[in-house]
Amino acid sequence: MRADRLIQALLLLQGRPQITAAELAEELEVSVPTARRDLEALAMSGVPIYPTRGRGGGWRLIGGARTDLTGLTEGEVTSLLIGLSQSGHADPERIAAVRKLVRAMPEPFREGAQRVAASTVRDAPWGEVPDEAASSTVAALQRAIAAQRRVRLEYEGTRGAIEIELVPLVIGSRGSRQYLLGAPAQDDADAADADRLRMYRIDRIRELGVLPERGSAPDGFDVAEAWARMVERVEDLRGAARALVRVEPWAVRALQDRFGAQAFVLDAEPDEGGRALMEVRAHRVDALAEQLAGWAGVAEAVGPPEVRAALRELGDRIAGLYRSDGAPRTRHPL
């Protein structure tokens, strides 16, 4: 896995005056372009390495060769760990690589690194590939978590931009989006108020500032439990409206792809009409009807009555719009 390779590459750099991409590729049993990308990733993560060109060139670690990770500064350690936390899914190999890195860190840096590692959660539903466009915001939030600092956000909410001051606690990926779990600090205390924990979409953070005031997780705060509880709350909001749908067997997978975690196969065995039974969800009945309308040729909502009524109303509006001879209706200003 890439995270493991980055650590191996760093250790090789610390044990030699310099190393070429070809030599690193041979050591790691990867292609030369892959080795070169790994070296560039280390440099971009803040590790003090630089390339020298021409005959006898290669990659060098500023400050000379070392045999362990203790030559890194606290900022460089945090940068490297942030890079690893964003490099892929939380598979066992990657988790093991991060643990090795944390164990190899100097004791003064270890607590901050552990906070970064523990605060990062990757989850599967709601999409497939996490959006990396907000990676600079994620990195800034993770640095604030490592340093136990509060942040001030300019956040684009549903009613416009608002300013929020909070303690960042968890960075989570849920499908194609990344989220922040955070809460204001308790009155006259550094710790976050867990009763006021909220979830924020990172792609809606317009401005981010790290404040000098300390901000820490409350005693006994469980990252995994807090994330699971917040995801369950969001799922309930997203799935407040539900419909039972009879679906042509060949369209089941397509409907699952469309609705994601809000689609469930209740009975894959075809009924007498050859159709499977599914449940699909959305945050409102009208939104659910609008999504189902495009599947009328392959899926029929058999209940509840309010969803069927919303589909009939939507169908009447569409039919009325196209019932004329084809001349588009013109809207005139008042």
If one compares 4 and 310, the residue with the highest pLDDT of the two is 310
DSSP tag of 280: E
H/E stretch holding 58? strand 58-61
Structural element, H or E, at residue 162: strand 160-174
Angstrom distance (rounded) from CA 121 to CA 242: 28
Higher pLDDT, 232 or 265: 265
How far, in whole angstroms, is CA 275 from its chain's centroid? 35
Please calculate the CA angle 281-287-293 and round it to the nearest 5 degrees: 90
* Domains of the chain listed by start with CATH number: 2-118 (1.10.10.10), 135-221 (2.30.30), 239-321 (3.30.70)
- For residue 153, name the pLDDT band (cuts at 50, 70, 90): very high
When pLDDT is cut at 50, 70 and 90, the band that residue 126 belongs to is very low
Q: How far apart are CA 122 and CA 144, in angstroms?
A: 19
Give the other-Cβ count within 10 Å of 57's Cβ: 11
pLDDT digits (tens, 9 = 90+) for 95-119: 566 666 666 665 555 666 667 666 7
Q: Contact 241/285 with Cβ under 8 angstroms?
A: yes
Sheet of strand 263-267: strand arrangement: 263-267, 276-282, 241-247, 299-303
Least confident stretch, 96-100, 136-140, 186-190, 312-316: 96-100
Query: Quick one: average pLDDT of 308-330?
Result: 79
Please count the CA atoms within 13 angstroms of the CA of 94 that sit on its side-chain side: 18
